[in-house]
């Protein structure tokens, strides 16, 4: 028998279910409430209140903000039972059935999985995705759980407050956005913002409250003439105004570098039409834009082209009274339901068996794709970064040559488009046409672009693609390809070495191999095998180094990696663009130019680092080496972080002199269509432009395509960039970029 307090709680919850769920099993909700009350009867929360209040509030959020069905409400009431009490999964299953038990189990597994990047969290991550793809209600119960936890965050210590707030902002809010739950997403962001930057939150909140009456009066004035015209046209509608939510205002202030008073689009008006005809939205837009001047570049039609999460609405910005900008959203009642409740609005059920419509299938497919594209070899950090990458993304709308729509993240490239079609299309991509014109593969796509992928049976992906790919799928596929290639090369190197040892009847013990790796500065056996396979070291040379055991034991062996440039002159290597480049740049380190150094550094020799090959116009920094004076690196050099960690005291500020007399060796990689006269046209464009001196050209044809490297002399980065643009304009050239080690 329930006491008066708990009977009222149950009655209130049942009332919410009647209001928002339509038909539901009242006995199921009642039994779940009583079971949870009994399981948690001895538990209390950090606030001191009985624990049952938490599952009750979570179930109330499900029933009011994201109402799906009675199963979800019951699972919300039971979501902490397995984790926090003596009752098990089997107990819940026996009492309420497998579906509810699975939702409870899935929601339990998600807890704490984003706290760190420990290896144990990877399996939790995979389980969460799998649970979500099997039943989307798992994450919805977790959303409701997180919302209530945020509302009671004040009772936790500051460290846990910040951790939970950051996790909410980084994972839960964008995931709610991807599932179309805009109201939940806004609550997540504003409550997390409150604990991540208390002072900023208080400042904005105070100003929004202070301006409330002024805002309400302004919006009333703004919507009055629109209402009059909508009434005249016979529309049934709801129109309301509001201030942008606090986190949104904060982001605008930061991104625009403006104060609160300088942010002009703080007002938002929403028009919800009671109609089944979406064309009525465009009519309403026409009415509003006749009254107030629209800002053309801020019109967005998400009705004709819905967002990936199913969101549909017209967005426009109008110049209202006093010259103030007001954002206006126009949508139908059904569109509004989807905008607010997302996946919940698409949920249909019959006798507790879920039936997914097209939008539900899209959400489930997205979750499964993310699950399938996560490499088993990925580190925990890579997996979490992949998740975030897929959550934080504005969208663009692009088309295949046949007119099929593809939705990609903003800043996507043709490589992302190719891998979105299929992994094999990505791997074999050699170029792309955007709106009928061949473009470099790192070009950023825009909404409305039509893309045709050019493929070749013999083409392989470039390692550089990972640098400009945007989608998780493209990055993951490229990463998997090169990991597999590396494994094959390691196996090839191992076979070469074992054959050599067998032929020479030499056996090396494990201790011998350990000494060998240490003497030759190899990181691991895999590193050594890879070097053998790639021709940076031959099996014959390695054998010569290790055949004398006395030298191996005494440590007389000198590592071939100590001076890579000098070694490149004697070690037999494959004739490739890397070797060619090294051959030229090793003599290009003159010190006629007086590099300007900060501090008390004087009279030291300057030379330019081979790893990044800086040229005038690029930001540079100096590293004081032990034997070669000051090495000049680009600030973007990938090796700088290691140098800084090794000895930050040896990093110094340097800059180019006003006048630079020298010319600098630079490598350019070019790929394109192998047609008659192409090589002549490329060299002619280079040599004619500013009398550029070409030192070497290396071209390799592959079927109807070519890849090449040109070594030339440039004065500065402007000279180089302008030259690259000239080469890009040649018909049939697909890609031109600077070659760097």
**Cβ–Cβ < 8 Å for 721, 692:** no
- Is there a catalytic annotation at residue 83? yes
- Taking alpha carbons only, the member of 734, 77, 36, 180 closest to residue 415 is 734
- Is there a catalytic annotation at residue 84? yes
How many CB atoms neighbour CB 86 within 10 A? 8
**Distance separating alpha carbons of residues 390 and 563, to the nearest angstrom:** 43
C-alpha R_g of the chain: 32
Q: Name the β-bridge partners of 733.
A: 672
DSSP 23: S
Token reading at 423: 């992994």
Angle between helices 246-256 and 182-196 (to 10 degrees): 70
**Distance separating alpha carbons of residues 263 and 326, to the nearest angstrom:** 11
Q: Which of 43, 49, 83, 361 is catalytic?
A: 83
* Beta carbons within 8 Å of 304's beta carbon, 6+ residues apart: none
**Distance separating alpha carbons of residues 529 and 539, to the nearest angstrom:** 10
Token reading at 102: 């699975």
- Taking alpha carbons only, the member of 254, 275, 247, 412 closest to residue 335 is 275
**Distance separating alpha carbons of residues 106 and 122, to the nearest angstrom:** 15
**Distance separating alpha carbons of residues 588 and 701, to the nearest angstrom:** 29
DSSP 450: B
Dmax (CA) for the chain in angstroms is 101
Q: What are phi and psi of 221, to 5 degrees?
A: -65, -40
**Cβ–Cβ < 8 Å for 92, 77:** no
**Distance separating alpha carbons of residues 275 and 288, to the nearest angstrom:** 18
Number of DSSP helices (H) and strands (E) in the chain, helices first: 33, 22
Q: What is the dihedral of CA 213, 215, 218, 224, to 10 degrees?
A: -90
DSSP string for 261-293: GG----EEEEEEE--S-THHHHHHHHHHHHHSE
Q: Which of 31, 84, 197, 673 is catalytic?
A: 84
Q: What is the dihedral of CA 724, 728, 734, 738, to 10 degrees?
A: 0
Strands 429-434 and 437-439: antiparallel
**Distance separating alpha carbons of residues 63 and 59, to the nearest angstrom:** 6
Burial per residue of 396-414, b for 16 or more beta-carbon CB atoms within 10 angstroms, e otherwise: bbbbeeeeeebbbbeebbb
DSSP string for 612-655: T---TTS-EEEEE-SSSSEEEEETT-TTHHHHHHH-GGGEEEEE
**Distance separating alpha carbons of residues 375 and 125, to the nearest angstrom:** 13
How many CB atoms neighbour CB 542 within 10 A? 20
Q: How far is CA 643 from CA 254, 600, 650, 735, in A?
A: 33, 20, 9, 32
DSSP 174: H
Q: What is the dihedral of CA 709, 713, 716, 717, to 10 degrees?
A: -10
- Taking alpha carbons only, the member of 317, 308, 315 closest to residue 338 is 308
In the numeric block, the tokens 């990925």 are attached to 378
Helix (H) or strand (E) holding 142: helix 137-151
- Taking alpha carbons only, the member of 294, 274, 277, 295 closest to residue 230 is 274
Which of the residues are catalytic?
A: 83-84
């Amino acid at each position: 028998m329930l006491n008066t307090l708990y009977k009222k709680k149950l009655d209130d919850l049942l009332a919410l279910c009647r209001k928002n769920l339509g038909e539901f099993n009242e006995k199921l909700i009642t039994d779940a409430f009583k079971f949870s009350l009994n399981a948690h009867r001895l538990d209390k929360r950090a606030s001191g209140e009985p624990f049952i209040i938490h599952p009750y509030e979570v179930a109330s959020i499900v029933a009011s903000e994201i109402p799906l069905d009675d199963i979800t409400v019951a699972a919300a009431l039971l979501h902490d039972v397995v984790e926090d009490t003596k009752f098990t999964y089997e107990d819940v299953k026996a009492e309420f059935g497998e579906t509810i038990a699975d939702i409870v189990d899935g929601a339990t597994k998600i807890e704490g999985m984003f706290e760190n990047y420990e290896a144990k969290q990877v399996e939790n991550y995979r389980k969460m995705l799998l649970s979500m793809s099997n039943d989307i209600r798992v994450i919805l119960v977790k959303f409701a759980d997180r919302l209530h936890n945020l509302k009671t965050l004040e009772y936790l210590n500051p460290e846990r407050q910040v951790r939970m707030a950051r996790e909410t902002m980084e994972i839960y809010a964008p995931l709610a956005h991807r599932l179309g739950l805009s109201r939940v997403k806004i609550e997540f962001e504003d409550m997390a913002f409150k604990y991540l930057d208390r002072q900023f939150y208080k400042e904005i909140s105070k100003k929004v409250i202070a301006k409330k009456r002024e805002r309400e009066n302004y919006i009333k004035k703004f919507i009055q003439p629109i209402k009059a015209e909508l009434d005249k046209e016979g529309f049934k509608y709801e129109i309301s105004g509001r201030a942008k939510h606090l986190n949104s205002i904060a982001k605008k202030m930061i991104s625009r570098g403006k104060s609160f008073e300088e942010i002009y689009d703080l007002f938002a008006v929403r028009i919800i039409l009671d109609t089944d005809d979406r064309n009525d939205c465009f009519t309403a837009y026409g009415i509003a834009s006749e009254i107030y001047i629209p800002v053309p570049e801020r019109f967005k039609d998400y009705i004709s082209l819905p967002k990936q999460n199913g969101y549909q609405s017209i967005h426009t910005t109008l110049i209202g009274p006093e010259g103030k900008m007001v954002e206006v959203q126009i949508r139908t009642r059904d569109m509004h339901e989807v905008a607010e409740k997302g996946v919940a609005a698409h949920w249909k059920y019959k006798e507790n068996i879920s039936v997914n419509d097209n939008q539900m299938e899209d959400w489930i497919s997205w979750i499964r794709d993310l699950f399938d594209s996560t490499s088993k070899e990925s580190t925990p950090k890579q997996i979490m970064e992949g998740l975030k990458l897929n959550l934080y993304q504005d969208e663009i709308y692009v088309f295949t040559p046949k007119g099929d729509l593809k939705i990609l993240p903003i800043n996507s490239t043709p490589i992302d488009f190719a891998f979105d079609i299929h992994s094999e299309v990505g791997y074999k991509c050699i170029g792309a046409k955007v709106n009928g014109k061949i473009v470099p593969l790192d070009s950023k796509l825009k909404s409305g672009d039509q893309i045709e992928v050019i493929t070749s049976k013999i083409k392989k992906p470039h390692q550089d693609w990972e640098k400009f790919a945007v989608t998780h799928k493209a990055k993951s596929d490229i990463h998997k390809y090169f990991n597999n290639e590396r494994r094959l090369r390691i196996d090839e190197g191992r076979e070469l070495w074992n054959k050599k040892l067998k032929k020479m009847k030499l056996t090396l013990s494990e201790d011998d191999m350990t000494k060998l790796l240490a003497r030759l500065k190899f990181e691991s056996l895999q590193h050594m095998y890879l070097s053998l396979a790639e021709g940076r070291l031959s099996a014959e040379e390695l054998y010569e180094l290790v055949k004398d055991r006395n030298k191996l034991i005494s440590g007389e062996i000198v590592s071939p990696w100590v001076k890579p440039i000098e070694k490149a002159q004697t070690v037999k290597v494959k004739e490739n663009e890397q070797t060619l480049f090294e051959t030229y740049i090793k003599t290009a380190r003159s010190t006629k130019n007086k590099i300007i150094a900060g501090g008390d550094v004087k009279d030291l020799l300057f030379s330019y680092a081979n790893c990044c090959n800086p040229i005038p116009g690029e930001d540079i920094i100096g590293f004081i080496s032990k034997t070669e004076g000051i090495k000049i690196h680009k600030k973007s050099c990938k090796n700088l972080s290691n140098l800084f960690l090794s000895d930050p005291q040896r990093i110094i500020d340097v800059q180019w002199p006003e006048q630079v007399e020298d010319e600098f060796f630079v490598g350019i990689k070019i790929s394109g269509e192998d047609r008659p006269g192409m090589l002549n046209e490329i060299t002619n464009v280079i040599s004619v432009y500013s009398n550029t001196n070409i030192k070497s050209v290396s071209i390799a044809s592959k079927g109807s395509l070519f890849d090449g490297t040109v070594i030339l002399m440039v004065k500065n980065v402007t000279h180089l960039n302008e030259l690259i643009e000239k080469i890009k304009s040649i018909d049939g050239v697909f890609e031109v970029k600077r070659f760097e080690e």
